[in-house]
Amino acid sequence: MKNESLYNYVLRLGDDSLILGQRLGEWCGHGPILEEDIAMTNISLDLIGQAMSLLDYAGEIDGNGKDHDALAFLRFENEYQNALLVEQPNGDFADTMMRQFLFDAFRQPLFEKLVHSSDAQLSAIAEKSLKETRYHLKHTSEWIIRLGDGTEESHTRAQKALDNLWRYTDELFSETSADLSLVTSGIVPSMVEIKEVWNKTVHAVFAEATLQIPTNNWQFEGGRRGVHSEHLGYLLADLQYMQRAYPNMKW
């Protein structure tokens, strides 16, 4: 492989999009109101579209002729490098919106920086995805404020979701030594910059939403190196079923 560092980086971006897209798709037909059902599946569609571009590019870097389908459907659990945050179950609407907001607030500044990547294809994918991500972040910020600063019930649930998901946020900004070499060559931004922007966004939105960031900052990690929570296995069983049961079948 020509560039293993870049392959892993692009694969991680693609896996985050794929797994979160699949999670959101689980809401199809189960949304609390029709408009939100449509919104969540629209966001899912954007994420799966981004995953297609990213995984195709990862396959191209790898050079073994694998396309997005091969990478999405035919890997084992420990070969997925998505962050633990995106594989967490949907829970209730507050859990889903909180997971999405924490993620969107991370992806928007990341894509903003990746647009300036010295890698032309990564820059092109970021340019395309950024426009979509702006809509996602706007939508989820509004919901977090509405839920947190809403009724007693919605506030309690939004706070519970934040308390539960906060422990998966540090991992989004983790960097391997291989990543740092990509930073040096101007291919990807430093996660320190991304975390600064993310911190500003989440603090501002949580303040307006009257939500408290947990004081216990104990954090989980593992997804980026293929060590996942038990939830991913069930998700993949669902995602991969057709290709595993009927190898090479075409839709």
Partner 1 sequence: MVSKESILTLLEEVCDPEIPVLSLSDLGVLRDVSFRNEEWVITITPTYSGCPAMKTMEDDVLAKLKANGITNVRVELVLSPAWTTDWLSESGKIKLREFGIAPPEHEVDKSVLFAAPTIVPCPKCGSRETKMVSQFGSTACKAHYQCLSCLEPYDYFKCLK
The yes or no reply on residue 43 touching partner 1 (CB under 8 A) is yes
Within residues 3-22, the interface with partner 1 by CB under 8 A covers none
Q: Which range binds partner 1 by CB under 8 A, 50-58, 62-70, 171-179, 194-202?
A: 50-58
- In terms of C-beta distances under 8 Å and separation of at least 24 residues, what long-range contacts does 74-77 make, across chains too? 74/240, 74/243, 77/226, 77/228, 77/232, 77/233, 77/236
Q: Please give the Cα distance from 18 to 223 (Å, whole number).
A: 14
Q: Which range binds partner 1 by CB under 8 A, 46-54, 58-66, 164-172, 173-181?
A: 46-54
> What minimum distance in Å lies between the beta carbon of 46 and partner 1?
5
Can you say how many angstroms the Cα of residue 82 is from the centroid of all Cα atoms in its chain? 7
Within residues 141-160, the interface with partner 1 by CB under 8 A covers 142
Determine which residue in the list 8, 18, 22, 46 makes contact with partner 1, applying CB under 8 A.
Answer: 46
> What minimum distance in Å lies between the beta carbon of 48 and partner 1?
5
Cα angle value 61/170/181 (rounded, 5°): 35
Q: Please give the Cα distance from 44 to 65 (Å, whole number).
A: 26
The yes or no reply on residue 132 touching partner 1 (CB under 8 A) is yes
The yes or no reply on residue 36 touching partner 1 (CB under 8 A) is yes
Q: Which residues contact 107 (CB under 8 A, 6 or more apart)?
A: 16, 129, 133, 136, 137
Q: Please give the Cα distance from 79 to 70 (Å, whole number).
A: 12
Q: Which is nearer to partner 1, 191 or 202 (CB)?
A: 202
Determine which residue in the list 30, 116, 131, 200 makes contact with partner 1, applying CB under 8 A.
Answer: 131
The yes or no reply on residue 48 touching partner 1 (CB under 8 A) is yes
**Would you say 122 and 114 are in contact if contact means Cβ atoms under 8 Å apart?**
yes
The yes or no reply on residue 135 touching partner 1 (CB under 8 A) is yes
Residue ranges in contact with partner 1 by CB under 8 A: 35-36, 38-39, 42-43, 45-50, 52-53, 120, 123-125, 127-129, 131-132, 135, 138-139, 142
